[in-house]
Structure 1
């Protein structure tokens, strides 16, 4: 058995709309003709990220092609895709294997960070913050996590104190995705005068204000450096930078938590698809004892389990997307999807390393990188334990509230 004689399976029917199919086809062209050559030219990999000037080029080009603002409300130029279409598009983006995958839709620093805020911002804030991000002129990040506030998002110690027509901010935000590239941040602060009372409020904070500092220099276990800390020291901002009502900060941040949990799944599954594809290719190519290792039943069982679990995870993801598209709440189901997809994607990467053997444990091989990256998703954006808590609360109702 080799790659040329491996039986070809008929492609499964596309689960989304014709518009989404065409969108993905255009994305494939963008990756093949522009982003893959750009990454090769500049030596950009998943672990060696691009600097801001190169990212500006990617963001602007993606916007010119109609990709960057896809997630925005229609009034701001969004595509109006259903959630089913959205997850299929995002899955295809991550399955491209491009190190620019997180930047095509602006997931780290662009429109997905501000789309939900468009309903609550003032006209002034729309002009100063939302529209520059939508036009790929400015980058933004969303800062909640702190040294003592992770899973317990309400335990914020960063404080905003009113002083006339200004607020004075002090505190540290930790592990903030996109912080090294940002021009401004959405900062969630405590605004209660009583430390025992949890009251949180959201603010736009410009990076160039005195007292605003980015601390970078650390890498995740996947080798990436697009996270950083935001340190605020007597940072003064105008009261006009407050987003929505005082005391509604976490409500704004978590208002789309069900949808957001679902939208992390296609990234994991796109990456898991890469691991599966690499494993099939390796099993067809690598020879031991006079035959391809794919001829051995142990390897076949690994591949069969990988493909089966990937299909099951995709089915759950798409089922939850359809429920939400139909107006269902699906709070427990979205947590199930995030839990199952993250755990499954990591198991797929783990088996990929096993089948690759020595090649799979050498840094620089793609499956080794995917193993580290997919391990992180069991922690990022709500740990597996937090998802289990949510699922149990939804199922048990008042018995555990």
Structure 2
């Protein structure tokens, strides 16, 4: 996902900007930040999407992004947020990922920063605000959100990690798996079962500091995209104060999933930004790669691949923005957000697949950007709710009470 300046001369024309003037200005300032600071920083330290940055370098990015007013964009206004609506947020995020910077997930702090805690601010006590929320908002600390377990993925309520009350404390035991950002975290939001009856699903959320005895991060494995910012959190008799409980007992999943419709929609701009990269790289390759005495872009077979890529990208983007406008207008749009996540993830992967085809032999060599994008966009069909789960949600909303 690294910026390749040899390709910038042949960029796909951008559609008319549909956001606010404030968002347009925000993106212009982001473009300067990416070009003048993040691109040289990545080059200096040999950071790529698969050769990730160490924590110290990420802290540098987080703090500089906060200084420039980017890092806390998604926070409530009371915590310094920008107050953008969902359309603006989607356009900003799309730009960041389309920039090709390997620091893209860190500019707004999506992996370990403010987007992880913004919704919690309404539930946090004053003590929790001081110890957890504000340090993340100030780019001083990193946080991760841990729900998934070996036996609880799509069925998020089937949690085995337990929190047992013991006087003024809770004692936590269990394993959280595939937790994004956990290798960098200073603390985690852990969703646990707090039911005394294993047959009763009762979940509660807790802030848990990484330096607590009994808290261990198992990292070192990589995703199929070659990235290593995912790990497991193992809790062994990890004792935390009862004041670390977030909100009401039994409301853990409700708290975690309270903004699931918006969050599901806001994964789409990342996918589409990456898909745009794949298309732009393909356009550049089709113009410069010559076979039989002419650029391969002169061949109708290649032209049709490019045409399909551009058409599907435009369709997916239109759906994303339509759902964003509906949410901004106060609509529930639960099925629509699932449609957007389903269609955008499947479409982005098809675009990456065609990009590999356009590149031919160069497209299947590890280290080429389209080969990386192919692997990364394949993951998005699983991440944040599989395509099958999205179809389940859509069908339930369409059928209503008939299947409940």
Question: Same fold by TM (over 0.5)?
Answer: yes
Q: Which residue is equivalent to 2:62?
A: 59
Paired residue secondary structure (1:173) = strand
Paired residue secondary structure (2:231) = strand
| Corresponding residue to 1:34 among 37, 59, 72 | 37
TM-score, structure 1 as length reference: 0.98
| Aligned counterparts of 2:15 and 2:213: Cα–Cα separation in 1 | 55
Q: Deviations over 1:359-385 (max 9, x none)?
A: 000000000000000000000000000
Distance 1:21 1:164, change over 3 A: same
1:13 Cα deviation after fit: 1.6
Q: How does 1:377-388 map to 2 (within 5 A)?
A: 377-388=380-391
| Corresponding residue to 1:260 among 250, 263, 267 | 263
Paired residue secondary structure (2:266) = helix
| Aligned counterparts of 2:217 and 2:107: Cα–Cα separation in 1 | 24
| Corresponding residue to 1:316 among 311, 316, 319 | 319
* Count of residue correspondences: 398
| Preserved contact between residue 10 and residue 284 of structure 2 (Cα < 8 Å) | no
| Aligned counterparts of 1:87 and 1:229: Cα–Cα separation in 2 | 29
| Aligned counterparts of 1:180 and 1:57: Cα–Cα separation in 2 | 17
Q: Which residue is equivalent to 1:146?
A: 149
Q: How does 1:267-286 map to 2 (within 5 A)?
A: 267-286=270-289
Paired residue secondary structure (1:107) = coil
| Aligned counterparts of 1:108 and 1:305: Cα–Cα separation in 2 | 32
Q: How does 1:33-112 map to 2 (within 5 A)?
A: 33-112=36-115
Q: How does 1:193-208 map to 2 (within 5 A)?
A: 193-208=196-211
Q: Which residue is equivalent to 1:389?
A: 392
| Aligned counterparts of 1:94 and 1:76: Cα–Cα separation in 2 | 25
Q: Which residue is equivalent to 1:178?
A: 181
Paired residue secondary structure (2:324) = helix
Q: How does 1:289-304 map to 2 (within 5 A)?
A: 289-304=292-307
Q: Deviations over 1:80-99 (max 9, x none)?
A: 00100000000000000000
| Corresponding residue to 2:338 among 319, 329, 335 | 335
1:12 Cα deviation after fit: 2.8
Q: How does 1:97-246 map to 2 (within 5 A)?
A: 97-246=100-249
| Aligned counterparts of 1:46 and 1:261: Cα–Cα separation in 2 | 23
| Aligned counterparts of 1:137 and 1:392: Cα–Cα separation in 2 | 43
The answer as to 2:22 corresponding to 1:24 is no
CA RMSD, Structure 1 to Structure 2 (Å)? 1.3
**Superposed structure 1 runs of 4+ greater than 3 Å apart:** 6-11
Q: Which residue is equivalent to 2:254?
A: 251
Q: Which residue is equivalent to 1:361?
A: 364
Paired residue secondary structure (1:20) = helix
| Preserved contact between residue 203 and residue 253 of structure 2 (Cα < 8 Å) | yes
| Aligned counterparts of 1:66 and 1:7: Cα–Cα separation in 2 | 30
| Aligned counterparts of 1:178 and 1:11: Cα–Cα separation in 2 | 32
Distance 1:9 1:163, change over 3 A: closer
Distance 1:11 1:361, change over 3 A: closer
Structure 2: state its 5+ residue gaps: 1-5
